[in-house]
Amino acid sequence: MRLLREAIASHNVVQSAPFAASHVLVPQPHQPEPKTPPETDRIVTEIEVATLARVSLATVRRWRLLRQGPPYRKVGSLVRYHQAEVQQWLEDLPRR
């Protein structure tokens, strides 16, 4: 059954009748892959920022409170960052 699910997923086909004793696969018309933004265009959470910077979540929150961290945006009550801006902020930090 697992191989059948993998075949269905990899070939973009569906079962003609889920209750049929023998599984008949019907090809579906080709659908283009959805466009995904480049990896650096991602919106990331404060947890992901902490992982990228290799610091604790509390440190990221303290940076935000003291306005010392990367630029962020509020989406309602949620805090979000652009990954490219976080990476740029990290690169701009002085090296020791």
Each domain of the chain, given as residue ranges in start order, spans 1-29, 39-92
Helices (H), the chain: 2-11, 46-53, 57-65, 83-92
Taking domain 39-92, whether its CATH number is 1.20.140 is answered by no
From the list 79, 21, 23, 15, the residue with the least C-alpha distance to 47 is 79
pLDDT tens-place values along the chain, 96 residues long: 666 666 656 655 455 555 555 566 667 777 777 666 666 578 999 999 999 999 999 999 999 999 999 999 999 999 999 999 999 999 999 988
Confidence (pLDDT) at 23: 62
Confidence (pLDDT) at 7: 60
